[in-house]
Amino acid sequence: MSNKIGIILGTRPEIIKLSSVIRFCKLNKVKYFIIHTNQHYSKNMDEIFFKELNLPKAKYNLEVGSCSRIEMISRMMVGLEKVLLKEKPVVVFVQGDTNTVLAGALAASSLDIKIGHIEAGLRSYDRTMPEEINRIITDNLADYLFCPTSKQVFNLKNEGINKGKVFLTGNTIVDAVRECIKIADKQSIIMDSLGLSKKDFILMTSHRPSTVDSRRHLMAVILATKRLAQKYHKKVVFPIHPRTKKMLDKFKIAIPNEFIVIEPLGYIDMLKLQKESFLIITDSGGIQEESCILKKKCVIIRHNTERPEAIDVGGCVLAGNDDPKKIFNLACRLIDKRVAWINPFGQGKIGEKIIKITLKKF
């Protein structure tokens, strides 16, 4: 067994949230290697993030691509086993709740390699979500559980996880936002390229199967957002996820004239749009966190969230995804509300904290 760290990632949120961990390892000459499962397989969903965040390319790319959940996890585990047997890391890091996370935890556990789960302890208490299953299994396999807030520490305590494995660190998204918003303000030209002014647009994103795989739900979200745009005289900027585009075409849903539909963006441009928006409407977990850090009001088009801190702050509201009237009314109330903004996700240098805790355990 070597003293190397393995970092397993596969989606753009993982690239973003692991960026400060990778950067700290690189700057401090900690031995590490990156395995990319390629769960997100299009360049504008993935490759651009490595470039913008100034990260080294992955040493290994499993090229898993698009397939069913079971086949994807199986392919990942086969590829991960080969790499982990070759590299023999002392610990592997996984981040969040994706299929990549579950495959990484299962492969490492099978090979008796220590597991560090970054963003541990999140719970939506909705086991119809694949992400919830991924979180629960990974937390039970992990040797080091790095929690964003005290809520996740409490969740793990209630589930009987050994408290000696649990560490309150904050969320690495704080590191990423603080690093990248400065770059966005200096370099991003997305506002000019779309002909936008500050606060004259609503930013909308949607990609979760619970929203986009249902014609009724997708229509509800679009209709509510259209109505908001008309009421407040705003445009709607809609970076369209490949899955969402596929389902819009399948359901033959016409995009309203108020919408500016664009391809998925890199992290720098996406942060810039969030910062300058009038309102955010999303089913993304990461954007819920970023909205708090950027002090932007956010309508969550889901029936539950594993990030209740965003709602507790008062700047986010849980609106569901099946009733356009409810989404519209809750959004209007949020727009009129005064928010005492507090960042619940930590004060930065979280990637550094995670590596230092892990190194002490070697």
d(Cα 211, Cα 133) in Å, to the nearest integer?
A: 19
Active site residue 241: no
d(Cα 153, Cα 166) in Å, to the nearest integer?
A: 7
DSSP assignment letter at 112: T
How large is the C-alpha radius of gyration of the chain?
20
DSSP assignment letter at 338: -
d(Cα 347, Cα 292) in Å, to the nearest integer?
A: 13
Residues 6 or more apart whose CB falls under 8 angstroms from that of 251 comprise 215, 218, 219
Kindly name the residue from 207, 233, 241, 303 that is annotated as catalytic. Answer: 207
Task: Report residue 229 as tokens.
Answer: 């745009």
Asked if residues 88 and 1 have their Cβ atoms less than 8 Å apart, the reply is yes
DSSP string, 223-275: HHHHHHHHHHT-EEEEEPPHHHHHHHHHHTPPPPTTEEEE----HHHHHHHHH
Q: What's the Cα-to-Cα distance from 5 to each of 31, 90, 312, rounded to whole Å?
A: 6, 6, 35
Query: Minimal CA–CA distance to 67: which of 27, 19, 20, 10?
Result: 10
* The residue type at 121: G
Asked if residues 36 and 10 have their Cβ atoms less than 8 Å apart, the reply is yes
DSSP string, 126-163: -TTSHHHHHHHHHHHH-SEEEESSHHHHHHHHHTT--G
Active site residues: 207
